[in-house]
Amino acid sequence: MSRDGPFSASDGGVGPTSAPSAPDARPDGPVAVRADVVQPIFAYWQQVMAKPKAKLDAKRRSAIAARLKDGYTPAELQRAIDGCRASAWHQGRNDRGRAFDDIALICRDAAHVEQFLALAADQRAEQAALDAFLNPDPDPLEGEFHVVRSRP
């Protein structure tokens, strides 16, 4: 599964009759959530958090569906999952030594989704800075180059 997940621009993931024009486009208001949209988001969380045996129970399904009804797109919820994964504290490097990475927590409310989206944006910015440092412009030198050989 790609980082963008199984959602296409034409699908949009939510909406009773019309699909948004882009994967991150927000609908005009609360919409009905198709049951088949929750499962791929949960599967993405299972993959990212390495929890293949986790079950999609009523609490988890309800939390994901509620955020979709709030207008978050599937792609935004996937980025929030990525943000939780990027947080050392939420992955267990905290005073309790315990991970706080359940999908029910990530999708608990809008504040949690926004917190994890911000963490994902921070992580992407850090990765972009690192990539720029490690892979500078491949053509920085201009002009003629001559091979100089030493005499024996």
Q: What residue segments make up the domains of the chain, in order of their start?
A: 35-133
Residue 137 parent element (H or E)? none
Rounded to two decimals, the pTM is 0.65
Residue 92 dihedral angles phi and psi, to the nearest 5° = 110, -5
Transcribe 25-70 into DSSP letters: PPPSS--PPPHHHHHHHHHHHHHHTT-TT----HHHHHHHHHHHHT
- Tens-binned pLDDT, residue by residue, of the chain (152 aa): 444 444 443 344 444 333 333 444 444 444 456 668 999 999 999 999 999 999 999 999 999 999 999 999 999 999 999 999 999 999 999 999 999 999 999 999 999 999 999 999 888 888 888 778 888 776 665 667 677 777 77
